[in-house]
A and B are shown apart, each in its own frame.
Chain A
């Protein structure tokens, strides 16, 4: 619960920061335009979550348990990237990811924030630099509750419940992955 409220708080702060940045340029605010840069579904973390669904094992009675049921989502993480132009040669890059959730994993919603600036070394060339940071978007795998009959019930890594690892040891192998947090992009373009 603490983590969730913490996330909510950080998103609130980021939203405020974005508003403040936009408000800091009142002279140009009226002329600012915002454009879609990219919209796509899926990410490397989505792929990773999907790959966790490969495989399965038999329960004691021989019934097959497929991992796939635990690592599929109805909605795949969607990312929207936008560019708000502040001056002729600078802009704020921002965007968000919706996140996704399966029965045994969650990818948090994410917020992307950064800037784009460009210079013109010559009339027919452009050097662009952009830096973006992503907040949130972490992939967290959830544990299962496994009933081992006389041996008791344990919280386990769902995928390793039938392995030779001690039940409590399997929890070490739960996936906790962060998205690519910072992205630096440098581009030089010559028109001829």
Chain B
């Protein structure tokens, strides 16, 4: 096969659909739930800010950080999040992001989630079966990739005959022209690792790219009092330093939403990137990416290790905070 470009079309969305099984393994105990519900935000301001709310009511699955973002009235304005996903298949499943039980396609779920994190962002939908190049909008662009491109293990990513769609995404990540939030995968292997003789070549193609972030799932949002651990299904960072330095984790609290999988981790990072972009309106995608990576927390995680959690749990409040103030 050497020298031949492999054309493949196995696209796997990263939702874990066996919710009842996952629920049994992931449901926090009563005390843990109480701590999550009552945990306060780490931002505390006393000023009058543009909206009437100072602490917006956010669904329980969201990090308290997002409530603070909502309260401030800046929710991703001026940023475009493009959801590259399934918007056309007949496959649907149920869940509840706090808006009532819905029965939707995979892309409709990830779009809804990103939109809830950053309600003022412009959300675009791009069906991944079209294969056409992903267009960028004016201003900061964030691409959400809650899917992988799998085929037989053993090739290098440059042997793959990418469609215009993935070729454009890889190019944006390489040139740093869009923040790429890529779901790590649900095979409990290192990013790009082999599972059942197959590999996610989109993961491999994004390794070492300036504005790409691999997003793994924690079973809950972590706090210093109640540290979180990697969800049982989530791919981890692995030993490659290039992956570790671009790997984040966020809470995917499926016990509250019925939705499990790193598919629902990536939209949280997409939303965070949009909120950061709405604060720092001149920021480049690479700057936003680095801000998220450099401000991740390790003290909210059980037995932190870079090979598992990469840079750590994304912290929106720290990503928005100054390095120093005087």
B319 nearest in chain A by CB position:
A60
B46 touches A150 (CB 8 A): no
Residue A158 is within 8 A (CB to CB) of chain B in the complex: yes
A149 nearest in chain B by CB position:
B323
Known A164-B320, A166-B74; judge A150-B325 contact (CB<8 A): no
Chain B residue contacts of A53, Cβ below 8 A: 46
Chain A residue contacts of B75, Cβ below 8 A: 164
A58 touches B323 (CB 8 A): no
Chain A residue contacts of B50, Cβ below 8 A: 165
A150 nearest in chain B by CB position:
B287
Residues 274-326 of B at the A interface (beta carbon under 8 Å): 275, 278-283, 287, 290-291, 294-295, 297, 299, 317-326
Residue A67 is within 8 A (CB to CB) of chain B in the complex: yes
B323 touches A162 (CB 8 A): no
Known A67-B46, A146-B325, A148-B280; judge A162-B317 contact (CB<8 A): yes
Residue B37 is within 8 A (CB to CB) of chain A in the complex: no
Residue A121 is within 8 A (CB to CB) of chain B in the complex: no
Shortest C-beta distance, B73 to chain A (Å), equals 8
How far, in whole Å, are A52 and B46 apart by their CA atoms in the complex? Answer: 6
Chain B residue contacts of A159, Cβ below 8 A: 45-47
B325 touches A147 (CB 8 A): yes
How far, in whole Å, are A50 and B124 apart by their CA atoms in the complex? Answer: 46
How far, in whole Å, are A145 and B324 apart by their CA atoms in the complex? Answer: 8
Residues 50-81 of A at the B interface (beta carbon under 8 Å): 51-62, 65, 67
Residues 118-172 of B at the A interface (beta carbon under 8 Å): none
Partner of A157, one of B47, B290, B291, B319: B47
Interface size class of A (residues with CB under 8 A): 35 or more
Chain B residue contacts of A82, Cβ below 8 A: none
How far, in whole Å, are A133 and B110 apart by their CA atoms in the complex? Answer: 62
Per-residue 0/1 for A148-173: is the Cβ within 8 Å of any B Cβ (1 yes, 0 no)? Answer: 11110000111111111111000001
How far, in whole Å, are A53 and B47 apart by their CA atoms in the complex? Answer: 10
Residue A129 is within 8 A (CB to CB) of chain B in the complex: no
Known A60-B323, A166-B74; judge A55-B318 contact (CB<8 A): no
B322 touches A55 (CB 8 A): no
Chain A residue contacts of B69, Cβ below 8 A: 164
Chain B residue contacts of A131, Cβ below 8 A: none
Shortest C-beta distance, A146 to chain B (Å), equals 4
Residue A32 is within 8 A (CB to CB) of chain B in the complex: no
Residue A22 is within 8 A (CB to CB) of chain B in the complex: no
Partner of A57, one of B43, B49, B281, B290: B43
Chain A residue contacts of B283, Cβ below 8 A: 150-151
Shortest C-beta distance, A72 to chain B (Å), equals 14
A164 touches B287 (CB 8 A): no
Partner of B322, one of A56, A60, A164: A60
B43 touches A62 (CB 8 A): no
Residue B44 is within 8 A (CB to CB) of chain A in the complex: yes
Residue A144 is within 8 A (CB to CB) of chain B in the complex: yes
* Residue with the highest number of chain B CB atoms closer than 10 Å, among A55, A150, A158, A160: A150
Per-residue 0/1 for A134-150: is the Cβ within 8 Å of any B Cβ (1 yes, 0 no)? Answer: 00000000001111111
A-B CB proximity, top 4 nearest:
A164-B74, A162-B321, A146-B322, A164-B72
Q: Which residues of A contact B (CB under 8 A)?
A: 51-62, 65, 67, 144-151, 156-167, 173, 175
Given A147-B325, A151-B280, A163-B43, 10 more contacts at CB 8 Å? A52-B46, A52-B47, A55-B45, A144-B325, A144-B326, A146-B322, A149-B294, A156-B322, A162-B322, A164-B320
A-B contact pairs, 5 of them (CB 8 A): A54-B46, A57-B42, A146-B322, A156-B322, A162-B321
